[in-house]
Structure 1
């Protein structure tokens, strides 16, 4: 369901389906609380190796994908370079996000086993999750199984939205120490996907509202037009968002468990960023791994039908092309 084609009726249907799904989630959680896979708590096969040995091992480790920087370090681990936009970042934001998700949710994610400071970045050593991606499995699933996948992903997103930014924490990448960081998100547009840093939520809102005003000025929209009062939606607290949920970033593990990987763009953002980012990432089959229209229809169910926010962003998207 593309936001521009969505009607009030569509919004109502998705909203009601979400209410029913969340009620079912609450009941299922009370009856049988989800548990993290036991393997996540077992020792790792790199525990007895030094940082120097791991860095040396990485030099000859095979890549998991020809164009990716992730390598199969050992039978149980992978190594991935940090992707922070800040050259002087004191810690890797992806590892920070994974640590918080691992410790405060039951979402299956790779456990971070080691963070090593390299010459130019950090090397994150984490568990290797064996299994095909959902992109590979999706065409073989029945409609019912696809709906169960969407329900599971909605439960994951619901858990993430309970992880609010700590008081005073700036929007964007998670940082244990140091100032606000440059934000990278599909929400900022294709021309320049990184902005900031933003010292506060208000500063993030001001950035978008200023771009909104500049577009209206270019289009000579009258000052008393109601559209000028339609501002950036910062009505909800900043929450942890993944921002790259697509079929290629979901691994189908043992027993059909869905593992959420690649948290490089994760950060604290308004809840509707997850919807916009997911819808944007899944417009291209090259990125998402599928052209399946049913998958695209499930996105508003998984993340919530934030059609209005998407249309607002699209209306002022010209201003996101400006530096």
Structure 2
């Protein structure tokens, strides 16, 4: 059974592939890993043969906690977490994890043959079926009843502070929070239109189970090893969210998808067609205004 780790967290030395890098060694690394845009990420570095480190004042240690939870509670392939800590001298948070060799799904997919695609999709289906089968605590929010991290509810890129978005006991509260934060970022002047949109959202987003959700499943966060084993990384936004969220988030991030990947998603997730249509509307609202 998964239990919340005590922070700072360090694995026992006999489980390390080599000694943990020091803060000085981490900060000195010039091997920056790439983001989904292809640009180097300033706060994600490879250190030595075995380690990747996320660090910085804005790195949320909950990513490490979330990954540990998945590692303990499921059979999913995820990076091993070696350390989660805050360094007082720099003011930075650090998550030290296993380096995963392989290709991001965005790089792998266009070159893959049919059997390679089948293998990836089959693994993803197994992974997310297993996540959905985890017993839910019944609320909608972050792991261990921490604040919500999911981007639509927090208001996207112009979000309020994450600590200001507490867990919701009901899906109705979830929808109210999503609408309120979108409207706080980009107010709809026609309040009758706002109320109509709110009512329609409540009619669509109801009667969904709370399930454990990755919530940022674009192709850069899916690594395919040389043996075609799939590893899912970056659990920073994860939590107990409505069952449609994973499918809709994956589909609305289609601009990150290579070629025909979205056509394969019904083989990974149950489809939520009506919810997807409204999440496209929410995507536009939180990014550019209603």
Q: Aligning the two structures, in what range does the TM-score lie when normalised by the shorter sequence? A: 0.7 to 0.9
Q: Which has the higher strand share?
A: 2
Q: Which of 101, 113, 128 pairs up with 1:142?
A: 113
C-alpha displacement at 1:255, in angstroms?
Answer: 2.0
Q: Does 1:102 align with 2:77?
A: no
Q: Does 1:303 align with 2:269?
A: yes
Distance 1:277 1:307, change over 3 A: same
Q: Does 1:76 align with 2:50?
A: yes
Q: Does 1:63 align with 2:32?
A: yes
Mapping of 1:239-250 within 5 angstroms? 239-250=211-222
Per-residue Cα deviation, 1:40-83 (whole angstroms, up to 9, x for no partner): xx822344x4xxx6211102122223521211122111111278
Q: Which of 169, 190, 203 pairs up with 1:201?
A: 169
Contact conserved, 2:67 with 2:78, CA < 8 A, in 1? yes
Per-residue Cα deviation, 1:272-314 (whole angstroms, up to 9, x for no partner): 1001111122x21xx34x2x12x11112321221111112334
Distance 1:228 1:114, change over 3 A: closer
Distance 1:256 1:314, change over 3 A: closer
Distance 1:81 1:170, change over 3 A: farther
Unmatched tracts of structure 2, length 5 or more: 1-13
Range that drifts further, 203-212 or 54-63: 203-212
**d(CA) in 2 for partners of 1:189 and 1:197?**
10
Distance 1:309 1:277, change over 3 A: same
Aligned alpha-carbon RMSD (Å): 3.5
**d(CA) in 2 for partners of 1:318 and 1:278?**
15
Aligned to 1:162: 133
C-alpha displacement at 1:182, in angstroms?
Answer: 4.8
**d(CA) in 1 for partners of 2:110 and 2:24?**
40
Per-residue Cα deviation, 1:104-163 (whole angstroms, up to 9, x for no partner): 111110010111213444200111111222222222211232133112111111111123
**d(CA) in 1 for partners of 2:25 and 2:201?**
57
**d(CA) in 2 for partners of 1:220 and 1:206?**
11
Paired residue secondary structure (1:259): strand
Mapping of 1:112-131 within 5 angstroms? 112-118=81-87, 119-131=90-102
* Structure 2 length-normalised TM: 0.74
Distance 1:278 1:216, change over 3 A: farther
Unmatched tracts of structure 1, length 5 or more: 1-41
Contact conserved, 1:187 with 1:273, CA < 8 A, in 2? no
* Structure 1 length-normalised TM: 0.68
Distance 1:220 1:262, change over 3 A: closer
Distance 1:255 1:113, change over 3 A: same
Q: Which of 173, 184, 192 pairs up with 1:217?
A: 192
Contact conserved, 2:155 with 2:178, CA < 8 A, in 1? no
